[in-house]
Protein backbone atom coordinates (compact mmCIF):
# COMPACT_ATOMS: atom_id res chain seq x y z
CA UNK A 1 0.00 0.00 0.00
CA UNK A 2 1.24 3.46 -0.87
CA UNK A 3 2.24 5.42 2.24
CA UNK A 4 0.49 8.73 2.96
CA UNK A 5 2.22 11.68 1.31
CA UNK A 6 3.34 13.36 4.51
CA UNK A 7 5.54 10.41 5.43
CA UNK A 8 7.10 10.28 1.95
CA UNK A 9 8.01 13.93 1.97
CA UNK A 10 9.31 14.04 5.52
CA UNK A 11 11.24 10.78 5.08
CA UNK A 12 13.00 12.04 1.95
CA UNK A 13 14.00 15.22 3.72
CA UNK A 14 15.12 13.27 6.81
CA UNK A 15 17.23 10.81 4.82
CA UNK A 16 18.96 13.58 2.91
CA UNK A 17 19.76 15.52 6.06
CA UNK A 18 21.02 12.40 7.83
CA UNK A 19 23.26 11.59 4.86
CA UNK A 20 24.67 15.07 5.07
CA UNK A 21 25.28 14.91 8.81
CA UNK A 22 26.89 11.46 8.57
CA UNK A 23 29.20 12.63 5.82
CA UNK A 24 30.07 15.74 7.77
CA UNK A 25 30.93 13.68 10.84
CA UNK A 26 33.41 11.69 8.76
CA UNK A 27 35.58 14.75 8.19
CA UNK A 28 35.38 18.43 7.35
CA UNK A 29 36.67 17.94 3.81
CA UNK A 30 33.64 15.83 2.98
CA UNK A 31 31.02 18.23 4.31
CA UNK A 32 29.07 18.42 1.11
CA UNK A 33 27.58 15.42 -0.68
CA UNK A 34 29.22 15.01 -4.07
CA UNK A 35 27.22 17.34 -6.28
CA UNK A 36 27.53 16.16 -9.86
CA UNK A 37 26.97 18.62 -12.59
CA UNK A 38 23.58 17.32 -13.50
CA UNK A 39 21.43 14.45 -14.58
CA UNK A 40 22.18 12.19 -17.54
CA UNK A 41 20.00 14.38 -19.71
CA UNK A 42 22.27 17.34 -18.91
CA UNK A 43 25.30 15.31 -19.94
CA UNK A 44 23.60 14.56 -23.25
CA UNK A 45 22.98 18.26 -23.83
CA UNK A 46 26.63 19.00 -23.10
CA UNK A 47 27.75 16.40 -25.60
CA UNK A 48 26.06 18.58 -28.25
CA UNK A 49 28.53 21.46 -27.85
CA UNK A 50 29.18 22.40 -31.49
CA UNK A 51 32.57 22.04 -33.17
CA UNK A 52 34.70 25.12 -33.78
CA UNK A 53 35.35 26.45 -37.28
CA UNK A 54 38.88 27.42 -36.22
CA UNK A 55 42.08 25.43 -36.41
CA UNK A 56 44.85 25.74 -33.84
CA UNK A 57 46.89 27.74 -36.36
CA UNK A 58 44.12 30.33 -36.59
CA UNK A 59 44.16 30.99 -32.85
CA UNK A 60 46.62 33.69 -31.83
CA UNK A 61 47.06 32.40 -28.26
CA UNK A 62 45.69 29.47 -26.30
CA UNK A 63 44.16 31.93 -23.85
CA UNK A 64 41.95 33.12 -26.71
CA UNK A 65 40.01 29.85 -26.77
CA UNK A 66 36.42 29.93 -25.53
CA UNK A 67 34.87 27.04 -23.60
CA UNK A 68 33.28 25.51 -26.69
CA UNK A 69 36.57 25.84 -28.63
CA UNK A 70 38.48 24.28 -25.73
CA UNK A 71 36.06 21.35 -25.68
CA UNK A 72 36.47 20.91 -29.43
CA UNK A 73 40.28 21.26 -29.48
CA UNK A 74 40.63 18.77 -26.64
CA UNK A 75 38.25 16.42 -28.43
CA UNK A 76 40.46 16.68 -31.53
CA UNK A 77 43.57 16.18 -29.39
CA UNK A 78 45.34 19.29 -30.69
CA UNK A 79 45.87 20.76 -27.21
CA UNK A 80 46.20 19.29 -23.74
CA UNK A 81 44.78 20.58 -20.43
CA UNK A 82 48.36 21.13 -19.28
CA UNK A 83 49.02 23.43 -22.27
CA UNK A 84 45.93 25.45 -21.39
CA UNK A 85 46.86 25.78 -17.73
CA UNK A 86 50.39 26.91 -18.52
CA UNK A 87 49.16 29.47 -21.05
CA UNK A 88 46.76 31.02 -18.55
CA UNK A 89 49.22 31.02 -15.67
CA UNK A 90 51.86 32.63 -17.89
CA UNK A 91 49.45 35.36 -18.88
CA UNK A 92 48.35 36.01 -15.31
CA UNK A 93 51.98 36.12 -14.13
CA UNK A 94 52.74 38.65 -16.82
CA UNK A 95 49.73 40.94 -16.69
CA UNK A 96 47.82 40.68 -13.43
CA UNK A 97 50.20 43.19 -11.86
CA UNK A 98 48.30 45.71 -14.05
CA UNK A 99 44.78 44.27 -14.01
CA UNK A 100 44.76 43.17 -10.35
CA UNK A 101 41.87 40.83 -11.06
CA UNK A 102 42.88 38.01 -8.71
CA UNK A 103 42.68 37.84 -4.92
CA UNK A 104 44.23 34.40 -4.50
CA UNK A 105 45.60 31.68 -6.79
CA UNK A 106 46.66 28.05 -6.51
CA UNK A 107 50.19 26.97 -7.43
CA UNK A 108 50.97 25.83 -10.96
CA UNK A 109 51.75 22.36 -9.60
CA UNK A 110 48.34 22.15 -7.93
CA UNK A 111 46.63 23.18 -11.15
CA UNK A 112 48.60 20.66 -13.20
CA UNK A 113 47.66 17.96 -10.69
CA UNK A 114 43.99 18.97 -11.08
CA UNK A 115 44.17 18.35 -14.81
CA UNK A 116 44.70 14.67 -14.02
CA UNK A 117 41.25 14.34 -12.38
CA UNK A 118 38.64 12.32 -14.23
CA UNK A 119 41.10 9.69 -15.38
CA UNK A 120 38.50 7.11 -14.40
CA UNK A 121 36.83 7.89 -17.71
CA UNK A 122 34.01 10.01 -16.28
CA UNK A 123 32.66 12.57 -18.70
CA UNK A 124 34.10 16.04 -18.06
CA UNK A 125 32.78 18.71 -20.42
CA UNK A 126 34.85 21.46 -18.77
CA UNK A 127 38.10 19.50 -18.88
CA UNK A 128 41.03 21.94 -18.98
CA UNK A 129 38.79 25.03 -18.86
CA UNK A 130 40.34 27.70 -16.61
CA UNK A 131 37.67 29.46 -14.56
CA UNK A 132 37.64 32.46 -12.22
CA UNK A 133 34.88 32.49 -9.58
CA UNK A 134 34.35 35.62 -7.55
CA UNK A 135 35.94 35.59 -4.11
CA UNK A 136 32.64 35.00 -2.31
CA UNK A 137 32.49 31.34 -3.45
CA UNK A 138 33.90 28.95 -0.84
CA UNK A 139 36.98 27.07 -2.05
CA UNK A 140 38.94 24.51 -0.07
CA UNK A 141 42.27 25.33 -1.70
CA UNK A 142 42.14 29.12 -1.68
CA UNK A 143 41.05 31.81 0.73
CA UNK A 144 37.54 33.24 0.46
CA UNK A 145 37.63 36.82 1.67
CA UNK A 146 34.61 38.44 0.00
CA UNK A 147 36.64 41.55 -0.80
CA UNK A 148 36.44 42.53 2.85
CA UNK A 149 38.23 42.73 6.17
CA UNK A 150 35.27 40.81 7.63
CA UNK A 151 36.50 37.60 5.99
CA UNK A 152 40.21 38.33 5.88
CA UNK A 153 42.12 35.03 6.07
CA UNK A 154 38.97 32.88 5.88
CA UNK A 155 39.74 29.36 4.64
CA UNK A 156 36.57 27.33 3.99
CA UNK A 157 36.52 23.58 4.61
CA UNK A 158 34.32 22.81 1.64
CA UNK A 159 33.69 24.07 -1.88
CA UNK A 160 30.58 26.04 -2.78
CA UNK A 161 28.23 23.77 -4.68
CA UNK A 162 28.77 25.79 -7.86
CA UNK A 163 32.55 25.41 -7.54
CA UNK A 164 32.22 21.70 -6.79
CA UNK A 165 30.00 21.30 -9.85
CA UNK A 166 32.53 22.99 -12.10
CA UNK A 167 35.34 20.90 -10.68
CA UNK A 168 33.36 17.68 -11.10
CA UNK A 169 32.85 18.68 -14.73
CA UNK A 170 36.63 18.99 -15.13
CA UNK A 171 36.88 22.76 -14.71
CA UNK A 172 40.00 24.26 -13.15
CA UNK A 173 39.78 27.12 -10.68
CA UNK A 174 42.66 29.25 -11.95
CA UNK A 175 42.16 31.81 -9.18
CA UNK A 176 39.70 33.64 -6.97
CA UNK A 177 38.64 36.93 -8.51
CA UNK A 178 38.65 40.21 -6.62
CA UNK A 179 35.29 41.72 -5.85
CA UNK A 180 33.59 44.72 -4.33
CA UNK A 181 33.48 44.85 -0.54
CA UNK A 182 30.91 42.19 0.53
CA UNK A 183 29.40 42.24 -2.97
CA UNK A 184 28.96 45.99 -3.39
CA UNK A 185 30.77 48.44 -5.68
CA UNK A 186 34.07 47.81 -7.48
CA UNK A 187 36.98 45.95 -5.90
CA UNK A 188 39.01 48.01 -3.44
CA UNK A 189 41.89 47.60 -1.03
CA UNK A 190 40.12 45.98 1.92
CA UNK A 191 38.67 48.50 4.34
CA UNK A 192 39.41 51.50 2.11
CA UNK A 193 37.95 53.20 -0.94
CA UNK A 194 41.16 52.77 -2.97
CA UNK A 195 40.25 50.89 -6.20
CA UNK A 196 42.24 47.81 -7.22
CA UNK A 197 40.91 45.89 -10.23
CA UNK A 198 41.13 47.70 -13.57
CA UNK A 199 38.74 47.41 -16.45
CA UNK A 200 40.39 45.10 -19.01
CA UNK A 201 39.78 47.74 -21.69
CA UNK A 202 41.58 50.50 -19.76
CA UNK A 203 44.25 48.64 -17.76
CA UNK A 204 46.42 51.73 -17.38
CA UNK A 205 43.54 53.96 -16.26
CA UNK A 206 42.28 53.16 -12.78
CA UNK A 207 39.42 55.65 -12.81
CA UNK A 208 37.43 53.87 -15.51
CA UNK A 209 35.35 51.35 -13.60
CA UNK A 210 35.46 47.62 -14.27
CA UNK A 211 31.91 47.49 -12.94
CA UNK A 212 30.91 45.96 -9.66
CA UNK A 213 30.70 43.93 -7.71
CA UNK A 214 31.94 40.97 -9.79
CA UNK A 215 34.80 43.19 -10.97
CA UNK A 216 37.65 40.67 -10.88
CA UNK A 217 35.76 37.98 -12.74
CA UNK A 218 34.78 40.49 -15.41
CA UNK A 219 38.35 41.63 -15.87
CA UNK A 220 39.87 38.14 -15.73
CA UNK A 221 37.56 36.88 -18.48
CA UNK A 222 37.78 39.96 -20.70
CA UNK A 223 41.59 40.09 -20.32
CA UNK A 224 41.95 36.42 -21.30
CA UNK A 225 43.26 35.44 -17.87
CA UNK A 226 40.35 32.99 -17.53
CA UNK A 227 38.09 31.40 -20.11
CA UNK A 228 34.97 32.21 -18.11
CA UNK A 229 33.90 32.75 -14.53
CA UNK A 230 31.19 33.07 -11.97
CA UNK A 231 29.82 36.24 -10.48
CA UNK A 232 26.97 36.89 -8.09
CA UNK A 233 24.17 39.39 -8.51
CA UNK A 234 21.91 40.92 -5.89
CA UNK A 235 21.50 44.22 -7.70
CA UNK A 236 23.19 44.20 -11.11
CA UNK A 237 26.56 42.79 -10.02
CA UNK A 238 26.91 40.33 -12.90
CA UNK A 239 25.47 42.34 -15.77
CA UNK A 240 27.19 45.54 -14.55
CA UNK A 241 30.77 44.31 -15.02
CA UNK A 242 29.58 42.21 -17.96
CA UNK A 243 28.43 45.29 -19.85
CA UNK A 244 31.45 47.32 -18.74
CA UNK A 245 33.84 44.72 -20.17
CA UNK A 246 32.08 43.41 -23.29
CA UNK A 247 31.01 40.05 -21.85
CA UNK A 248 27.98 37.85 -22.28
CA UNK A 249 26.54 36.89 -18.91
CA UNK A 250 23.40 35.26 -17.63
CA UNK A 251 21.80 35.94 -14.29
CA UNK A 252 19.38 33.03 -14.28
CA UNK A 253 16.04 32.58 -12.56
CA UNK A 254 16.36 32.58 -8.78
CA UNK A 255 17.03 29.04 -7.57
CA UNK A 256 18.49 27.77 -10.84
CA UNK A 257 22.03 27.71 -9.43
CA UNK A 258 22.77 26.74 -5.84
CA UNK A 259 23.89 29.48 -3.47
CA UNK A 260 25.24 27.01 -0.92
CA UNK A 261 28.77 28.05 0.02
CA UNK A 262 28.41 31.61 -1.27
CA UNK A 263 28.86 34.45 1.23
CA UNK A 264 25.34 35.87 1.32
CA UNK A 265 24.31 39.46 0.85
CA UNK A 266 20.58 38.74 0.61
CA UNK A 267 19.02 35.30 1.10
CA UNK A 268 16.18 36.38 -1.16
CA UNK A 269 17.89 38.25 -4.02
CA UNK A 270 21.36 36.72 -4.49
CA UNK A 271 21.96 34.86 -7.74
CA UNK A 272 24.98 33.05 -9.15
CA UNK A 273 25.66 34.13 -12.73
CA UNK A 274 28.00 32.70 -15.39
CA UNK A 275 30.20 35.36 -17.02
CA UNK A 276 31.62 34.46 -20.42
CA UNK A 277 32.90 35.77 -23.73
CA UNK A 278 29.96 34.58 -25.82
CA UNK A 279 26.47 33.20 -25.43
CA UNK A 280 27.45 29.57 -26.04
CA UNK A 281 29.92 29.64 -23.17
CA UNK A 282 27.35 31.23 -20.84
CA UNK A 283 24.89 28.49 -21.82
CA UNK A 284 27.44 25.72 -21.25
CA UNK A 285 28.24 26.99 -17.77
CA UNK A 286 24.57 27.32 -16.88
CA UNK A 287 24.00 23.79 -18.17
CA UNK A 288 26.67 22.50 -15.80
CA UNK A 289 25.41 24.52 -12.82
CA UNK A 290 21.61 24.32 -13.13
CA UNK A 291 20.74 21.40 -10.93
CA UNK A 292 19.01 20.67 -7.68
CA UNK A 293 21.19 20.84 -4.56
CA UNK A 294 20.23 19.10 -1.30
CA UNK A 295 22.07 21.86 0.57
CA UNK A 296 20.02 24.66 -0.97
CA UNK A 297 16.26 24.12 -0.79
CA UNK A 298 15.72 27.09 -3.08
CA UNK A 299 16.95 24.90 -5.96
CA UNK A 300 14.42 22.14 -5.28
CA UNK A 301 11.16 21.46 -7.04
CA UNK A 302 11.96 23.49 -10.13
CA UNK A 303 11.31 22.37 -13.71
CA UNK A 304 14.25 20.31 -15.03
CA UNK A 305 16.94 22.37 -16.72
CA UNK A 306 16.22 22.41 -20.47
CA UNK A 307 18.78 22.18 -23.27
CA UNK A 308 20.51 25.53 -22.88
CA UNK A 309 23.34 24.50 -25.22
CA UNK A 310 20.95 23.95 -28.09
CA UNK A 311 19.20 27.27 -27.48
CA UNK A 312 22.57 29.04 -27.83
CA UNK A 313 23.22 27.53 -31.27
CA UNK A 314 22.17 30.01 -33.95
CA UNK A 315 19.58 28.65 -36.36
CA UNK A 316 20.17 28.72 -40.08
CA UNK A 317 17.87 30.68 -42.32
CA UNK A 318 17.14 33.98 -43.93
CA UNK A 319 18.08 37.00 -41.78
CA UNK A 320 19.62 34.92 -38.95
CA UNK A 321 16.31 34.04 -37.35
CA UNK A 322 15.87 33.71 -33.62
CA UNK A 323 15.06 30.09 -32.74
CA UNK A 324 11.51 30.95 -31.61
CA UNK A 325 9.22 33.81 -32.69
CA UNK A 326 10.01 36.51 -30.17
CA UNK A 327 8.40 39.85 -29.36
CA UNK A 328 10.97 42.33 -28.10
CA UNK A 329 9.88 45.33 -26.05
CA UNK A 330 11.79 48.17 -24.42
CA UNK A 331 11.17 49.81 -21.08
CA UNK A 332 10.20 53.50 -21.35
CA UNK A 333 13.25 55.73 -21.67
CA UNK A 334 15.61 52.95 -22.76
CA UNK A 335 15.98 54.37 -26.27
CA UNK A 336 16.66 57.84 -24.91
CA UNK A 337 19.61 57.68 -22.48
CA UNK A 338 21.62 60.78 -21.55
CA UNK A 339 24.66 59.65 -23.54
CA UNK A 340 24.27 60.45 -27.26
CA UNK A 341 26.66 57.72 -28.34
CA UNK A 342 24.78 55.10 -26.35
CA UNK A 343 21.46 56.37 -27.72
CA UNK A 344 22.74 56.01 -31.31
CA UNK A 345 24.10 52.53 -30.58
CA UNK A 346 20.82 51.38 -29.08
CA UNK A 347 18.91 52.72 -32.07
CA UNK A 348 21.16 50.75 -34.42
CA UNK A 349 20.76 47.68 -32.24
CA UNK A 350 16.97 47.89 -32.46
CA UNK A 351 17.08 48.30 -36.25
CA UNK A 352 19.32 45.23 -36.52
CA UNK A 353 17.04 43.25 -34.23
CA UNK A 354 14.02 44.18 -36.30
CA UNK A 355 15.72 42.90 -39.44
CA UNK A 356 16.30 39.49 -37.86
CA UNK A 357 13.93 36.66 -38.66
CA UNK A 358 11.34 35.69 -36.06
CA UNK A 359 11.68 39.02 -34.24
CA UNK A 360 8.77 41.37 -33.72
CA UNK A 361 9.81 44.68 -32.26
CA UNK A 362 6.92 46.01 -30.19
CA UNK A 363 8.66 49.22 -29.07
CA UNK A 364 8.09 50.86 -25.70
CA UNK A 365 5.87 48.78 -23.50
CA UNK A 366 3.33 50.18 -21.06
CA UNK A 367 4.59 49.80 -17.52
CA UNK A 368 2.62 47.69 -15.04
CA UNK A 369 0.52 49.51 -12.45
CA UNK A 370 2.43 51.10 -9.56
CA UNK A 371 5.77 50.29 -11.23
CA UNK A 372 7.55 53.19 -9.57
CA UNK A 373 6.44 52.29 -6.03
CA UNK A 374 7.05 48.58 -6.46
CA UNK A 375 10.53 48.91 -7.92
CA UNK A 376 12.00 51.69 -5.77
CA UNK A 377 12.94 51.90 -2.10
CA UNK A 378 11.73 50.73 0.26
CA UNK A 379 9.32 48.24 -1.37
CA UNK A 380 11.67 47.28 -4.19
CA UNK A 381 14.69 46.88 -1.94
CA UNK A 382 16.16 44.44 0.52
CA UNK A 383 17.21 46.58 3.46
CA UNK A 384 16.70 43.96 6.11
CA UNK A 385 18.43 41.04 4.48
CA UNK A 386 22.17 41.19 5.27
CA UNK A 387 22.09 42.08 8.96
CA UNK A 388 21.23 38.73 10.54
CA UNK A 389 24.11 36.87 8.87
CA UNK A 390 26.68 39.49 9.91
CA UNK A 391 25.56 40.38 13.43
CA UNK A 392 28.61 38.91 15.18
CA UNK A 393 31.02 40.75 12.86
CA UNK A 394 29.08 43.97 13.42
CA UNK A 395 29.51 43.52 17.15
CA UNK A 396 33.20 42.74 16.73
CA UNK A 397 34.09 45.98 14.94
CA UNK A 398 31.95 48.03 12.57
CA UNK A 399 35.10 49.39 10.90
CA UNK A 400 35.60 46.01 9.22
CA UNK A 401 32.71 46.88 6.89
CA UNK A 402 34.34 50.01 5.49
CA UNK A 403 32.11 52.09 3.23
CA UNK A 404 29.51 49.33 3.12
CA UNK A 405 28.58 49.56 6.80
CA UNK A 406 25.12 51.16 6.38
CA UNK A 407 23.94 48.32 4.13
CA UNK A 408 24.71 45.83 6.89
CA UNK A 409 23.25 47.82 9.76
CA UNK A 410 20.00 48.72 7.99
CA UNK A 411 18.29 45.53 9.06
CA UNK A 412 18.39 46.76 12.65
CA UNK A 413 16.25 49.71 11.65
CA UNK A 414 13.74 48.03 9.37
CA UNK A 415 10.65 46.81 11.18
CA UNK A 416 9.23 43.35 10.71
CA UNK A 417 5.99 44.72 9.29
CA UNK A 418 7.91 46.60 6.61
CA UNK A 419 9.90 43.47 5.82
CA UNK A 420 6.66 41.53 5.34
CA UNK A 421 5.24 44.26 3.15
CA UNK A 422 8.40 44.27 1.00
CA UNK A 423 7.81 40.60 0.34
CA UNK A 424 4.13 41.17 -0.42
CA UNK A 425 5.11 43.93 -2.84
CA UNK A 426 7.72 41.68 -4.43
CA UNK A 427 5.14 38.99 -5.19
CA UNK A 428 2.71 41.60 -6.48
CA UNK A 429 5.44 42.96 -8.74
CA UNK A 430 6.15 39.50 -10.11
CA UNK A 431 2.51 38.96 -10.98
CA UNK A 432 2.24 42.37 -12.58
CA UNK A 433 5.41 41.85 -14.61
CA UNK A 434 4.05 38.53 -15.82
CA UNK A 435 0.54 39.70 -16.59
CA UNK A 436 1.04 43.37 -17.51
CA UNK A 437 4.56 43.46 -19.00
CA UNK A 438 5.26 40.04 -20.49
CA UNK A 439 1.79 40.02 -22.03
CA UNK A 440 3.17 42.68 -24.38
CA UNK A 441 6.51 41.04 -25.20
CA UNK A 442 8.61 37.92 -24.59
CA UNK A 443 11.88 39.74 -23.92
CA UNK A 444 12.35 43.27 -22.65
CA UNK A 445 15.36 45.57 -22.95
CA UNK A 446 16.05 47.33 -19.69
CA UNK A 447 18.54 49.85 -18.38
CA UNK A 448 18.79 48.46 -14.86
CA UNK A 449 18.08 44.99 -13.58
CA UNK A 450 16.59 45.85 -10.16
CA UNK A 451 12.98 44.85 -10.84
CA UNK A 452 14.15 41.53 -12.26
CA UNK A 453 16.69 40.91 -9.49
CA UNK A 454 14.09 41.41 -6.78
CA UNK A 455 11.57 39.12 -8.42
CA UNK A 456 14.23 36.59 -9.47
CA UNK A 457 13.69 36.76 -13.23
CA UNK A 458 16.48 35.99 -15.70
CA UNK A 459 18.60 38.76 -17.24
CA UNK A 460 21.25 38.41 -19.94
CA UNK A 461 23.79 41.01 -20.99
CA UNK A 462 25.80 41.14 -24.21
CA UNK A 463 27.91 43.69 -26.10
CA UNK A 464 26.39 45.78 -28.89
CA UNK A 465 29.22 48.14 -29.81
CA UNK A 466 32.08 50.37 -28.71
CA UNK A 467 32.32 53.93 -27.54
CA UNK A 468 35.16 56.22 -26.48
CA UNK A 469 35.69 56.84 -22.79
CA UNK A 470 36.30 60.61 -22.60
CA UNK A 471 38.63 60.44 -19.59
CA UNK A 472 41.08 57.86 -20.95
CA UNK A 473 40.39 58.24 -24.67
CA UNK A 474 40.18 54.44 -24.83
CA UNK A 475 37.66 52.44 -26.83
CA UNK A 476 35.32 50.68 -24.40
CA UNK A 477 32.47 48.23 -24.95
CA UNK A 478 28.79 48.96 -24.44
CA UNK A 479 26.17 46.33 -23.78
CA UNK A 480 22.48 45.72 -23.25
CA UNK A 481 20.37 43.93 -20.67
CA UNK A 482 17.58 41.63 -21.81
CA UNK A 483 15.10 40.27 -19.28
CA UNK A 484 12.58 37.44 -19.58
CA UNK A 485 9.88 35.78 -17.44
CA UNK A 486 10.85 33.08 -14.91
CA UNK A 487 12.70 30.20 -16.61
CA UNK A 488 13.10 32.23 -19.80
CA UNK A 489 16.85 31.57 -20.13
CA UNK A 490 16.50 29.65 -23.42
CA UNK A 491 14.66 32.58 -25.00
CA UNK A 492 17.43 34.97 -23.94
CA UNK A 493 20.12 32.64 -25.25
CA UNK A 494 18.28 32.30 -28.56
CA UNK A 495 18.13 36.07 -29.10
CA UNK A 496 21.79 36.46 -28.13
CA UNK A 497 22.81 33.55 -30.40
CA UNK A 498 21.13 35.16 -33.39
CA UNK A 499 22.70 38.53 -32.57
CA UNK A 500 26.18 37.10 -32.14
CA UNK A 501 25.84 35.09 -35.37
CA UNK A 502 25.59 38.35 -37.33
CA UNK A 503 27.92 40.59 -35.29
CA UNK A 504 31.45 40.25 -33.94
CA UNK A 505 31.50 42.69 -31.00
CA UNK A 506 31.83 39.73 -28.64
CA UNK A 507 35.01 38.53 -30.34
CA UNK A 508 36.97 41.80 -30.08
CA UNK A 509 39.64 41.59 -27.40
CA UNK A 510 41.17 44.45 -25.44
CA UNK A 511 44.76 45.56 -25.96
CA UNK A 512 47.33 44.23 -23.51
CA UNK A 513 48.50 46.61 -20.77
CA UNK A 514 51.46 48.86 -21.50
CA UNK A 515 54.39 48.98 -19.12
Report how far apart, in Å, the C-alpha atoms of 217 and of each of 107, 120, 382, 476 are.
19, 31, 25, 17
Q: Judging by beta carbons within 10 Å of its beta carbon (0-12, 13-18, 19+), is residue 25 exposed, middle or buried?
A: exposed
Residue 317 φ/ψ, nearest 5 degrees: 150, 175
Contact between residue 402 and residue 148 where contact means Cβ atoms under 8 Å apart: yes
Q: Judging by beta carbons within 10 Å of its beta carbon (0-12, 13-18, 19+), is residue 389 exposed, middle or buried?
A: middle
* Annotated active-site residue in 134, 176, 258, 266: 134
Shortest separation between residue 24's beta carbon and another protein, angstroms:
26
Contact between residue 218 and residue 211 where contact means Cβ atoms under 8 Å apart: yes
Examine the residue annotation and report whether 237 is marked as an active-site residue of this protein.
Answer: yes
Nearer to another protein, 340 or 417 (CB): 417
| Rounded distance between C-alpha atoms, residue 295 and residue 16, angstroms | 9
With contacts defined by CB under 8 A, name the span among 34-42, 285-293, 354-362, 450-458 that binds another protein: 450-458
- Is residue 302 close enough to count as binding another protein by CB under 8 A? yes
* Annotated active-site residue in 52, 68, 214, 237: 237
Shortest separation between residue 311's beta carbon and another protein, angstroms:
17
Shortest separation between residue 452's beta carbon and another protein, angstroms:
9
Contact between residue 211 and residue 242 where contact means Cβ atoms under 8 Å apart: yes
| Rounded distance between C-alpha atoms, residue 49 and residue 279, angstroms | 12
Examine the residue annotation and report whether 382 is marked as an active-site residue of this protein.
Answer: no
> Contacting another protein (CB under 8 A), which of 255, 321, 329, 465?
255
| Rounded distance between C-alpha atoms, residue 329 and residue 482, angstroms | 10
Nearer to another protein, 246 or 486 (CB): 486
User: What is the x/- site pattern for another protein, positions 323-352, by CB under 8 A?
Assistant: ------------------------------
| Rounded distance between C-alpha atoms, residue 443 and residue 452, angstroms | 12
- Is residue 167 close enough to count as binding another protein by CB under 8 A? no
User: What is the x/- site pattern for another protein, positions 211-250, by CB under 8 A?
Assistant: ----------------------------------------
> Contacting another protein (CB under 8 A), which of 4, 303, 473, 515?
303
Chain centroid to CA 375: how far?
A: 22
| 400 Cβ neighbours under 8 A, 6+ residues apart | 148, 149, 150, 191, 393
| Rounded distance between C-alpha atoms, residue 420 and residue 178, angstroms | 34
- Is residue 439 close enough to count as binding another protein by CB under 8 A? no
Nearer to another protein, 17 or 421 (CB): 421
Shortest separation between residue 180's beta carbon and another protein, angstroms:
13
| Rounded distance between C-alpha atoms, residue 143 and residue 153, angstroms | 6
Examine the residue annotation and report whether 127 is marked as an active-site residue of this protein.
Answer: no
| Rounded distance between C-alpha atoms, residue 65 and residue 83, angstroms | 12
**Judged by CB under 8 A, how many residues of this single chain contact another protein?**
54
Shortest separation between residue 176's beta carbon and another protein, angstroms:
23
| Rounded distance between C-alpha atoms, residue 395 and residue 409, angstroms | 11
| Rounded distance between C-alpha atoms, residue 494 and residue 279, angstroms | 9
> Contacting another protein (CB under 8 A), which of 253, 278, 287, 375?
253
Shortest separation between residue 379's beta carbon and another protein, angstroms:
6
With contacts defined by CB under 8 A, name the span among 42-50, 202-210, 425-433, 438-446 that binds another protein: 425-433
- Is residue 483 close enough to count as binding another protein by CB under 8 A? no
> Contacting another protein (CB under 8 A), which of 9, 362, 420, 508?
420
- Is residue 111 close enough to count as binding another protein by CB under 8 A? no
Binding residues for another protein (CB under 8 A)? 191-193, 253-255, 267-268, 298, 301-303, 373, 377-379, 383, 391, 394-395, 397-399, 401-403, 405-406, 409-410, 412-415, 417-418, 420-430, 434, 454-457, 486-487
Give catalytic residue positions.
Answer: 134, 213, 237
Amino acid sequence: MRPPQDTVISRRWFLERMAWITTAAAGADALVPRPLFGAERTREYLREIPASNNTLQQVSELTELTISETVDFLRRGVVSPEDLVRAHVDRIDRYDQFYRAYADRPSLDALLASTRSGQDGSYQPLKGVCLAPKDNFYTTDMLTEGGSLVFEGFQPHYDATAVASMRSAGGLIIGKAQMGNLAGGRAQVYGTTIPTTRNAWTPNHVNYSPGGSSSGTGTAVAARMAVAGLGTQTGGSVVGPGNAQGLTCIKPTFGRISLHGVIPLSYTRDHVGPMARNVMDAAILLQVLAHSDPNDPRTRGLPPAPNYVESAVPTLGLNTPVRWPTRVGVLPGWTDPNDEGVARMRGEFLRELESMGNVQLVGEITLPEQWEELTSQPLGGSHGDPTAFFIESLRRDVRLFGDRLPRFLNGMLQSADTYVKVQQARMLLLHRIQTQLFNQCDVVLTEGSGAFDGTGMPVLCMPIGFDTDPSSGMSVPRGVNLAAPPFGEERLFAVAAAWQARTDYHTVRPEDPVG
